[in-house]
Amino acid sequence: MNHIGYIQGDATQPTGSGNKIIVHICNDVGRWGKGFVLAISARWPEPEQQYRDWFASKKDFVLGKAQLVPVEAGLWVVNVIGQHKIANGKSGTPPIRYEAVQEGLREVYAFATTHQASVHMPRIGCGLAGGSWDKIAPIIEQELTDKGVQVTVYDFN
């Protein structure tokens, strides 16, 4: 059984050889402008543009869906819709939707196996989305590492 690898570094500069997929969590209201997306946009314009175009089209732009965006040869960014709105709900519920993250990671698994790619990410869903790594990590293991996909999580210095 494979486990998640953890390293210090920048998830927008994935380590290792071969094809790579960078995964991050997006909201379902078309907002892009805080958190890890800023690091993505600083390196490549395509993930933000394709996310905005996807939102504008309303075509399958729902919780649990994932969008694969090529950014360089052998490198993709995946926009996973795993966050409902951008603020805590009236009951204090954070925006993260664990079931949506799980559905999105199933799509990431399909992308990763199709492209023989490793997966790279920050601690998805645990920043602005308000999620708990204790809940996210087992989802990553169930949907990716337990199925043989190599996953590296980057803790930014």
What CA–CA distance (Å, rounded) separates 138 from 147?
Answer: 13
Model pTM above 0.75: yes
Cα-atom radius of gyration of the chain, to the nearest Å?
A: 14
Contact 64, 104 (CB under 8 A): yes
Q: Where are the alpha helices (DSSP H) in 16-151?
A: 36-43, 46-57, 98-114, 133-143
Helices 98-114 and 133-143 cross at an angle (nearest 10°) of 30
What CA–CA distance (Å, rounded) separates 36 from 51?
Answer: 14
Token pair of 82 as six digits: 């795993």
pLDDT at residue 76 tops 90: yes
Token pair of 97 as six digits: 């939707």
Domains annotated on the chain, with CATH: 5-155 (3.40.220.10)
84-134 confidence digits (pLDDT tens): 999 998 889 999 999 999 999 999 999 999 999 999 999 999 999 999 999
% of residues, the chain, pLDDT over 90: 94
Q: Taking phi first (over 0 means left), then psi (-120 to 50 degrees means alpha), and beta for anything else, what does residue 117 get?
A: beta
Q: What is the pLDDT of residue 1?
A: 66
Q: How far is CA 82 from the centre of its chain?
A: 8
Terminal-to-terminal C-alpha distance of the chain: 29
Q: What is the pLDDT of residue 2?
A: 79
